[in-house]
Structure 1
C-alpha cells in the first residue's frame, strides 16, 4: 500500500502487505519485503504535533516486517542512506540517521535520534539507546546493549557491550591501506591503553593524526554526549583470538583456559 503524500523513485519493488506511508520519500531501486512499513508514526507517549519525514536513498533492502518511523517534529527528518540492508524485524525509530552500506541484522533496534555511520554492522538483537552514535565501519555483536557511543572502526562484544579490538575485516573490505590501518591501531592504543587523561588523549590524537581515517577519532570523541564504550582486555573463560596478517601477526591462535587448568 502506498499512501497519498508518499514519493517513490524508479524501479522500487514493494512486496505483499508492505506499506509506504505519507511523508516518505523513497529513492530508486529499493526493495520492500512482506510486511515492511516505512513512515510509521513515531512512538511517543505524548505527541507534540505533526510528525516529520522519512527520506530513503537508493538500492536499499527492507526485509520482512522492518519498521522505520517518521521524525518526531514537523521539521525533523529520519534518514536512510544508500545500499543498506535491514534484515527481518529490524526497527529504526524517529530521527535516526543511518548512513550508506549499513547492515542491520534480524531484530536490531535503534531508538530515537541514533546515528549509524557508513559500513557499520549491527548483529542480531542488538539494541542502541537514544542519542547514541555508532561510528563507521564499527561491528556490534549480536544481543549487545549499546548505551554509549561506539567509536569508528571498533568491534563490540555482544555479551558485555565492551570494545574487544578493531574491526579488521571491515577495515580491509573498506579498501584502507596498510598504513591507514596501522595509524588506526596506533590511535586505538592512545584511546584505550595510554593511561592518559581524556583531555590529554584528545590532544595526543589531534597532534599525531592530521589527516586520514585515524583523524576521525578525535572529533568523534570530543563530540560525545553519552560517553563512549570502554575496552575489555581480559575475556573470561576460553577465548579465540583472531590475528590479522594486515597487522603483522600470525593467522589464528586459540586458547582454552579451562582445559589448561584441568591439565595443570
Structure 2
C-alpha cells in the first residue's frame, strides 16, 4: 500500500497487501487484514478491526461513534470478519459500554446505504440489503437475509436462516428458519428454498415445518405450543434451537399471519 492521495494515520496497523484507493481516510487505532480492498472516499475511524479479503466501497463510514446520547466517549470497537463486502455509503457504528463492540461476521454482504447501529451482532453469511436500518443491540443470525429498506427496532433478535421481506418494520423477534412478511410482521412459512440451497435435507425441512405448524397454525399460545413440541417432537439441534430462541426472546416473537 502506497497511496499518496489517501490519509493513513501512523498508528493504524495495515497489512502489506491492503489496497487503499485515493481520498480515503484511516484513523488511529485501526487494524486491517491482508488482501482487503478499500475504495475511494471511505472513512475508517478509531476502533475498527477489519479482517482479511474484505471489500469496502466508496462512501462507507466504518466505526464512527454511536448515535446514542448515553455514549460518553468510552473505548469500543467495530469488529469485521473476513471476506466481508461493504457496499457504497454503508455506515457501521462502534459499540458502547453495554457490550464494547459492534460485530460483523465472516462472508457477510452489506448492500448500499445500510446502517448498522452500536452493539449490533451480525452472524456469518448474513445479507443486509440496500437501505436496511438496524437499531442498537440487534442480533442477526447466520445466513439471515433482511430485505431492502427494512427497519429493525433496537434489541431485536433475528434467528439463523430467517428471511425478512423488503420494507418490513421489525418490532418483534423473528425465529430461526422462518420467512417474515406482511404488516404487522408475521410468520408466512419457513425459508425452505434457502434451507435447501444450504444443504438441509427434505426430512429436516419437514421437521422444521412441523414445529412451526404447532407454533403458528394450531391456535395454541406459545407456552402450550412449546410444551407440545418438547413432548412430541424428537430432540434435534434444530428443534432445541427454536425452543431456546422462543424461551429467550425478550421482546416476544412475531405473530402468525392469521392471528388476531
Report the TM-score, using the length of structure 2 for normalisation. 0.86
Report SS of the residue matched to 1:189.
helix
Query: Which residue pairs with 1:227 in the alignment?
Result: 252
Distance 2:71 2:116 in 1: 18
Aligned: 1:87 with 2:101 = no
Q: Deviations over 1:126-147 (max 9, x none)?
A: 0110000111111111110000
Query: Which residue pairs with 1:70 in the alignment?
Result: 94
Report SS of the residue matched to 2:53.
coil
Report SS of the residue matched to 1:25.
strand
How big is the alpha-carbon RMSD for the aligned residues of Structure 1 and Structure 2?
Answer: 1.5
Cα offset for 1:157? Answer: 1.3
Report SS of the residue matched to 2:79.
strand
> Matched residue pairs, number?
234
Distance 1:16 1:74 in 2: 33
Aligned: 1:212 with 2:237 = yes
Aligned residues of 1:54 and 1:71 also touching (Cα < 8 A)? yes
Match of 2:168 among 140, 144, 147: 144
Cα offset for 1:49? Answer: 4.0
Match of 1:53 among 59, 71, 77: 77
Aligned residues of 1:180 and 1:212 also touching (Cα < 8 A)? no
Query: Which residue pairs with 1:6 in the alignment?
Result: 30
Q: Which runs of 5+ in 1 are unaligned?
A: 235-264
Q: Deviations over 1:48-71 (max 9, x none)?
A: 341411111100000000011100
Aligned residues of 1:71 and 1:94 also touching (Cα < 8 A)? yes
Distance 1:51 1:88 in 2: 27
Q: Deviations over 1:198-236 (max 9, x none)?
A: 2222222233241132331100000011011112149xx
Report SS of the residue matched to 1:156.
strand
Aligned residues of 2:98 and 2:119 also touching (Cα < 8 A)? no
Report the TM-score, using the length of structure 1 for normalisation. 0.85
Aligned: 1:129 with 2:153 = yes
Cα offset for 1:37? Answer: 1.1
Structure 1 residues 134-173: aligned runs within 5 Å? 134-173=158-197
Aligned residues of 2:168 and 2:181 also touching (Cα < 8 A)? yes
Q: Deviations over 1:7-33 (max 9, x none)?
A: 000010000011221111111000000
Report SS of the residue matched to 2:26.
coil
Aligned residues of 1:52 and 1:74 also touching (Cα < 8 A)? no
Aligned: 1:39 with 2:63 = yes
When residues 9 and 34 of structure 1 are mapped into structure 2, their CA distance, relative to the original with a 3 A threshold, is: same
Q: Deviations over 1:54-102 (max 9, x none)?
A: 1111000000000111001285111000110000000100000000111
Query: Which residue pairs with 2:126 in the alignment?
Result: 102
Structure 1 residues 249-260: aligned runs within 5 Å? none
Query: Which residue pairs with 1:113 in the alignment?
Result: 137
When residues 158 and 126 of structure 1 are mapped into structure 2, their CA distance, relative to the original with a 3 A threshold, is: farther
Distance 1:67 1:133 in 2: 20
Distance 1:222 1:209 in 2: 18
**Stretches (4+) displaced over 4 A:** none
